[in-house]
Structure 1
Amino acid sequence: MQEKGKIKLGISIGDLNGIGCEVVLKTFEDSRMLDFCTPIVFASNKTISQQKNHLKIPINYNGVPDAYKALDGKFNVVNVWKETPKLQFGEATPEGGKFAIKSLQKAVEALKQGKIDVLVTAPINKNNIQSEEFNFPGHTDYLAKELNGQSLMFMVTDDLKVGLLTDHVAVKDVSAAITTKLINDKIEVIENSLKMDFGITKPKIALLGINPHSGDNGVIGKEDDKILKPVIKELANKGHLVYGPYAADSFFGSDGYKKFDAILAAYHDQGLIPFKTLSFGKGVNYTAGLSKVRTSPDHGTAYEIAGKGKADHSSFKEAVFSAIHIFRNREEYLELTENPLKKQKITRK
């Protein structure tokens, strides 16, 4: 029997030729992690054995045929496949993509069925994972489809939270992709997430400009004046604490971000370069806006160090703790919103 309240934390193993297995095994090599959750890895006994032996990580595991069979106090492995994939560390192989898909599909299936409470995904390669079964730019888009949500790529630490208006979109297509509806949708997701997932009652959000210097009043592009500013004004009139657009080049260097609960960047690198510069190794990629909680580390497959035992598991460990904390915050938020009398009692304290 699962101990009441112990979170069942599912893990998709990612690309077997990257550092995914290594950061997972290193995280749960510390048995104290089992006090916080019941880890359930979707892979196979043979694969985990292969990896732990190669990496010389002394961890015991409990093989189970289904997530329901996972034991509390154990590092559980759901046997998703019977084959023994050939390990080619540092290489993006079709086989690596094939088993990354299998792990992710089974983990998401278990998440939808309530067999696990949260999902933490190890890094995939966005190229070799493409197939008829998986035709998405990444985890975020796939999970949005599977969980029927309006997703937001949300990079988070305790002190810095950066959401993306557009994520895996080519730079040449960014301006055309940003519409009034998209901005309103993403602001709604980010506000709801800050309230429900992070306990921020009245979130204050900064919106970064699309063009250099936010367009310099139309001299360097008109999108900021025509699209961003009217939306921000309309949101402000409705009582939302949304400000901007701010010139992205000076926003982070001047510590402007510290005045806000979250920042919404116009495109991928505009948000992720400063985020990873300020918090690399401690950051977490969180998919906000879904009915279920999914986190991942803030790094990729790191083929250049795969199989060498050099991977830093700090970000994956943070992703585990973030998933647990967000799940608990959601439980409390939903309980309070469903029971306003309890909320009043707590407020009076």
Structure 2
Amino acid sequence: MKNDDNIKVGISIGDLNGIGCEVILKTFEDNRMLELCTPVIFGSTKVINYQRKMLDMNLAYNGIDSAVKVVAGKFNVVNVWKETPNIEPGKETEEGGKYAFLSLKAAVTALKNGEIDVLVTAPINKHNIQSEEFKFPGHTDYLAQELEGEALMFMVTNDLKVGLLTDHVPVKEVSNKITPKLVEGKINKIYNSLVQDFRVRKPKIAVLGINPHTGDNGVIGKEDDEVLRPVINKINDSGKLVYGPYAADSFFGSGLHHQFDAILASYHDQGLIPFKTLSFGKGVNYTAGLSKVRTSPDHGTAFEIAGKGEANHKSFEEAVFTAISIYRNREEYNELTKNPLEKTTGKL
């Protein structure tokens, strides 16, 4: 297994006009972070210098032209571009989206090539990042394409974990998107992630209903009875502890969420409103279901406070901690589940 101090945390800087660089710098201003991991920032030393000066920070860095030249225990900055972008804190600009994508693309390439171990993404603006190369509603779908997996948006803290059946989908399309195949796949992804990424031996999962009051026996809608219940029953029959569907309006208020290791919500706001209400600033957005580990903070670009030095970096810091923890857990899980014959003979 890899030593803790060798874990290379790749970081995309997000929108240059948002708070991405600020929360990154504030996180690694604490030198103890460099004892935990080796950060690799994909951007440019010119951008970091600008941000350091604006925030009155003296954080030392190691400028390099490739992730293969990373120095362990240093704050490494990969020069993805040489030009000097125009930075306008708080403004949505075409340049902000352009460089956010260049940073993300370079970081993902390094992740695929094994030059970094995990990826933590600072917030992007989903509008100005759109281009011929990026036609996605967010990071999750782009990563699913690049890493050839079926991604699950999984919002996590130590005590609360909420996955989404549908994520960045218009509300009017939600019920049509939810199929038995989708439900079964997402439940299994949550289950597998809890086991290998979070070391939960026998996960217990709750599924929230699609319609108000889970359809009231078909009076409000039939999707809960015709789509969710049969799949939940099928998975239960296989020996997994999956329950529901539960009426979403009272689930969190009643404290029922404390009885489960994870909750699967039917759509974005159904899951994220209670999650962020209960854990905003401490939560992490984790992309489960992929071969590589990616996390991000639970907030956006926060243009309204960009450049003012007011951003709280705790969620980004938690995203770094979570990525490292999941990476370690996966390595341990893979080690423990190796074929016994392979472990003793070195071959199958």
- State whether TM-score is above 0.5: yes
- Normalising by the smaller structure, the TM-score range is over 0.9
Residue 199 of structure 2 corresponds to which residue in structure 1?
A: 199
CA distance in 2, matches of 1:160, 1:333: 22
1:294 aligns to 2:301 (yes or no): no
1:125 aligns to 2:105 (yes or no): no
CA distance in 2, matches of 1:4, 1:133: 35
Residue 166 of structure 2 corresponds to which residue in structure 1?
A: 166
1:342 deviates by 12
Residue 337 of structure 2 corresponds to which residue in structure 1?
A: 337
CA distance in 2, matches of 1:292, 1:5: 19
Residue 21 of structure 1 corresponds to which residue in structure 2?
A: 21
CA distance in 1, matches of 2:332, 2:110: 23
Change in 2 beyond 3 A, CA 1:158/1:342: farther
CA distance in 1, matches of 2:225, 2:91: 46
Whether the 8 Å CA contact 1:34–1:73 is kept in 2: the answer is yes
CA distance in 1, matches of 2:342, 2:163: 32
Letter in 2 for 1:42: F
Residue 347 of structure 1 corresponds to which residue in structure 2?
A: none
Q: How does 1:178-193 map to 2 (within 5 A)?
A: 178-193=178-193
Change in 2 beyond 3 A, CA 1:71/1:259: same
CA distance in 2, matches of 1:71, 1:240: 44
1:56 deviates by 1.1
Whether the 8 Å CA contact 1:15–1:125 is kept in 2: the answer is yes
CA distance in 2, matches of 1:3, 1:181: 39
Cα root mean square deviation, aligned? 1.5
Change in 2 beyond 3 A, CA 1:313/1:5: closer
Task: Please state whether the residue corresponding to 2:32 is helix, strand or coil.
Answer: helix
Residue 50 of structure 2 corresponds to which residue in structure 1?
A: 50
Equivalenced residues, count? 342
Task: Please state whether the residue corresponding to 2:68 is helix, strand or coil.
Answer: helix
Residue 150 of structure 2 corresponds to which residue in structure 1?
A: 150
1:309 deviates by 0.1
Change in 2 beyond 3 A, CA 1:180/1:34: same
Unaligned runs of 5+ in 2: 344-348
Letter in 1 for 2:11: I
Q: How does 1:270-281 map to 2 (within 5 A)?
A: 270-281=270-281
Give the share of equivalent positions with the same residue, in percent: 71
Unaligned runs of 5+ in 1: 344-349
1:161 deviates by 0.2
Residue 70 of structure 1 corresponds to which residue in structure 2?
A: 70
Whether the 8 Å CA contact 1:336–1:342 is kept in 2: the answer is no
TM-superposition CA deviations, 1:23-56 (whole Å, max 9, x none): 0000000010001100000000101000110111
TM-superposition CA deviations, 1:248-294 (whole Å, max 9, x none): 01000111001000000000000000000000000000000000000
1:113 aligns to 2:113 (yes or no): yes
Q: How does 1:249-264 map to 2 (within 5 A)?
A: 249-264=249-264
Whether the 8 Å CA contact 2:153–2:286 is kept in 1: the answer is yes
